[in-house]
């Protein structure tokens, strides 16, 4: 038997082999004392290892029953924080009730006041009301408005005068300048027009003569070309005509020669066999 | 000790698990009572540290409570629970590695008088000398266990102390059964060498 591998040996050592395999291993071990010794040593190690003792430990009480979960809930930090927040709100509410603050928001201004604040505000209103009536205030406003209007009117009139004067000055000076400028420009423009017209005429004449010369040349060239082309065309035509004429002539020649041959044949046949020929002729 | 509590656990487990899965709070509570010690001891052996073991045990049972409805096969509850525990153990291990700083307490566990281990050992009604020796040996072996790689340690603890079948370990770790067995083999082999180096043999501990 082959040497059993380590897996088999270790399974044998822990008695996890079936009877057949065990028998094989025992047989092998009997024949191989060195392997048996090795196994014995491992078994000794097992024996020594058994001296390690278990530590005593008490399992913590987890998952006991639902009541315990409930009691835990009361002690949980979450519950505590919620309760503390609620309690502080309660304290705030009670304090607010006792002190009685008043919070107002009007005309973009936030007022937080306690009860005494109102008593201070009232006497001020009472002091101000009798001294000035609404009619007085109206009069004062009207007076100041009238004064203001007068001031504005005078100022406006002054400004108007100043502006008109300055406008007039500006206008007169500007028109004088413009007249001068106009005169200068008109003089200049007459001279310029004359010279321009003269130059224009000259240019025109030049252009026209150039054009005429050029066109005359072109026409000459064109006519020459035309004549050459026409003569070429005539020559070509004549050639073609001649070729045509020749071919016709040759065909006529052929026909006449053929005709000649045929007549010769007929004649020869008549001569050689006059009777049949006569018959043939009659048949025709 | 472990054997008896395991037997009790096994007796109740299937019925308890199916009731707990249906949302029975009492059954879930009992499951915690039955399994807490096992999970705590599993992670204690994994870290050799009380605080981390407590952390892992608590997280494991909170996760169990949350995911109980997702458990499909009642018979696989054991490997399912250890899967959760192993995952939290690995998470804690990662955290510990990233933390980098190590307290003096971690370096020499059980040395100071205020240690929980000192309190834990005080309650036994045996003769004090034997008791002390026993605790010392237990701690010594724990330190040997810590020298194994994480993968081998998981398997060795599950097999040797939690008594899971190789098939169950494979399910819990989501690896093949052969891998589990070979890890176990090399784990034991490694432990043998570690124990030899520390001069702990059958003879030296069994002399009394």
Nearest CA in chain B to A66: B25
Domain-located, residue A194: no
Task: Test A48 with B65 for CB contact under 8 angstroms.
Answer: no
Domain-located, residue A95: yes
**Model confidence at A72: pLDDT above 90:** no
Q: What percent of chain A has pLDDT over 70?
A: 87
Assign A128 a pLDDT band (cuts: 50, 70, 90). low
Domain-located, residue A224: no
Task: Test B134 with A53 for CB contact under 8 angstroms.
Answer: yes
Domain-located, residue A93: yes
Mean pLDDT over A198-217 rounds to 93
Give the pair of three-digit tokens for residue A228.
């050459």
Identify which of B29, B32, B166 has the shortest CB distance to residue A16: B166
Q: Show the domain range for A17.
A: 6-46
**Model confidence at B86: pLDDT above 90:** yes
pTM here is 0.49
Task: Test A48 with B141 for CB contact under 8 angstroms.
Answer: yes
Domain-located, residue A148: no
Q: Give the closest-approach CA distance of A58 to chain B in angstroms.
A: 7
Residue A64: per-residue pLDDT: 47
Enumerate the domain spans of chain B: 1-101
Q: B1-101 sits in which CATH class?
A: mainly alpha
Task: Test B192 with A47 for CB contact under 8 angstroms.
Answer: no
Alpha helices in chain A (DSSP H): 6-13, 19-31, 33-49, 66-75, 77-99, 115-131, 134-272, 274-283
Task: Test A65 with B65 for CB contact under 8 angstroms.
Answer: no
Using one digit for the tens of pLDDT, what is the confidence trace for A227-283?
999 999 999 999 999 999 999 999 999 999 999 999 999 999 888 887 776 676 677
Task: Test B181 with A66 for CB contact under 8 angstroms.
Answer: no
Q: Give the closest-approach CA distance of B136 to chain A in angstroms.
A: 10
Domain-located, residue A173: no
Domain-located, residue A125: yes
Cα Rg of chain B, angstroms: 18
Question: Which of B186, B188, B202 should we substitute to test contact with A (largest number of A Cβ atoms within 10 Å)?
Answer: B188
Sequence-distant (≥ 6) Cβ neighbours of residue B155 within 8 angstroms: B169, B173, B180, B183, B184, B187
Number of domains in chain A: 2
Place of tokens 């070509």: A236
- For residues B98 and B92, what is the distance between their CA atoms, to the nearest angstrom? 10
On chain B, the residues whose CB falls within 8 A of the CB of A3 are none
On chain A, the residues whose CB falls within 8 A of the CB of B23 are none
On chain A, the residues whose CB falls within 8 A of the CB of B135 are 53
CA angle A154, A157, A161 (to 5 degrees): 140
């Amino acid at each position: 038997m082959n040497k059993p591998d380590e897996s088999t040996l270790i399974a044998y050592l822990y008695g996890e082999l079936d009877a057949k395999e065990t028998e094989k291993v025992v047989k092998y071990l009997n024949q191989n004392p060195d392997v048996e010794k090795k196994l014995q040593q491992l078994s000794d190690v097992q024996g020594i290892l058994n001296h390690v003792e278990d530590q005593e430990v008490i399992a913590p009480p987890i998952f006991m029953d639902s009541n315990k979960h409930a009691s835990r809930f009361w002690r949980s930090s979450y519950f505590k924080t919620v309760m503390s927040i609620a309690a502080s709100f309660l304290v705030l509410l009670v304090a607010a009730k006792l002190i009685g603050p008043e919070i107002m928001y009007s005309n973009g201004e936030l007022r937080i006041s306690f009860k005494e604040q109102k008593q201070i505000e009232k006497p001020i209103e009472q002091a101000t009301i009798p001294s000035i009536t609404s009619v007085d205030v109206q009069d004062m406003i009207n007076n100041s408005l009238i004064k203001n209007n007068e001031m504005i009117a005078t100022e406006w009139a002054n400004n108007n005068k100043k502006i008109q004067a300055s406008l007039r000055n500006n206008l007169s000076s500007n028109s004088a300048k413009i007249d001068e400028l106009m005169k200068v420009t008109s003089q200049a423009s007459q001279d310029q027009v004359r010279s321009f017209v003269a130059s224009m005429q000259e240019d025109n004449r030049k252009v026209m003569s150039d054009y005429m010369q050029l066109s005359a040349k072109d026409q000459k060239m064109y006519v020459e070309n035309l004549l050459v082309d026409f003569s070429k065309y005539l020559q070509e035509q004549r050639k073609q005509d001649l070729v045509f004429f020749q071919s016709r002539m040759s065909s006529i020649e052929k026909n006449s020669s053929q005709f000649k041959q045929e007549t010769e044949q007929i004649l020869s046949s008549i001569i050689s066999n006059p009777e049949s020929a006569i018959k043939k002729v009659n048949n025709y | 000790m472990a054997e008896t509590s395991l037997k009790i656990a096994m007796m109740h487990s299937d019925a308890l698990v199916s009731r707990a899965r249906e949302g029975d709070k009492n059954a879930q509570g009992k499951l915690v009572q039955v399994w807490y010690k096992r999970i705590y001891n599993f992670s204690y052996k994994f870290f050799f540290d009380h605080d981390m073991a407590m952390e892992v045990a608590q997280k494991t049972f909170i996760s169990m409570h949350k995911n109980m409805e997702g458990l499909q096969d009642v018979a696989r509850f054991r490997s399912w629970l250890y899967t959760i525990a192993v995952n939290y153990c690995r998470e804690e291990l990662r955290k510990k590695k990233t933390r980098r700083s190590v307290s003096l307490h971690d370096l020499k566990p059980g040395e100071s008088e205020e240690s929980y281990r000192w309190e834990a050992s005080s309650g036994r009604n045996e003769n004090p000398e034997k008791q002390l020796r026993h605790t010392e040996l237990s701690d010594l072996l724990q330190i040997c266990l810590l020298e194994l790689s994480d993968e081998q340690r998981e398997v060795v603890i599950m097999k040797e102390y939690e008594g899971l079948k190789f098939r169950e370990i494979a399910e819990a770790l989501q690896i093949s059964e052969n891998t589990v067995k070979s890890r176990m083999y090399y784990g034991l082999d490694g432990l043998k060498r570690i124990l030899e180096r520390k001069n702990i043999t059958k003879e030296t501990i069994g002399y009394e």
